[in-house]
Amino acid sequence: TGSSDPYCIVKIDNEAIIRTATVWKTLSPFWGEEYEVQLQPNFHSISIYVMDEDALSRDDVIGKVCITRDMLAEHPKGYSGWMSLSEVDPDEEVQGEIHLRVEVLGSPGSRRLLRCTVLEAR
């Protein structure tokens, strides 16, 4: 039909912690949702999976982006830029990218929060 029913799943170290609402019949979704997540000091990565909801079969994975702890350490004031979606299944072709702004709030040793904003996607 030329459109998707996208939603996102956010995982920290492969544990799903957030699922956004589904935005029906679009290739340019806007969620307008905000979440605060407390990061454990020893976390390794944050993955954002973009999914396509399918009522008749298993939901499809459109692609994902992965933000590692090392990447955040390289950008102590935060990261803002385009990230290409990567495939989850090596047999699938993936297209698209997401413009993200990622910030870690708080100082080491105290309560730390992750703020991730999807600025735009294509």
38: nearest Cα among 106, 111, 100: 111
User: Hey, how many other C-beta atoms are within 10 angstroms of the C-beta on 87?
Assistant: 13
Q: Dihedral angle at the C-alpha atoms of 56, 8, 64, 89, nearest 10 degrees?
A: -20
| pTM listed for this prediction | 0.84
Q: What's the CATH class of domain 6-121?
A: mainly beta
Mean pLDDT of 94-99: 84
Mean pLDDT of 9-16: 94
pLDDT: is 40 or 23 the higher one? 23
* Residue-by-residue DSSP string for 1-26: ---B-EEEEEEETTEEEEEPPP--SB
Q: Read off φ and ψ for residue 48, nearest 5 degrees.
A: -115, 115
- For the chain, give every domain's residue range: 6-121
Structure tokens belonging to residue 31 = 């969620």
Judge whether residue 65 has pLDDT over 90.
yes
Structure tokens belonging to residue 38 = 């407390």
Q: What angle do CA 88, 94, 97 make, to 5 degrees?
A: 105
Instruction: Indicate the range of 15-24, 36-45, 61-70 predicted with least confidence.
Output: 36-45
Judge whether residue 33 has pLDDT over 90.
no
**How far apart are the C-alpha atoms of 115 and 102, rounded to whole Å?**
6
Judge whether residue 1 has pLDDT over 70.
no
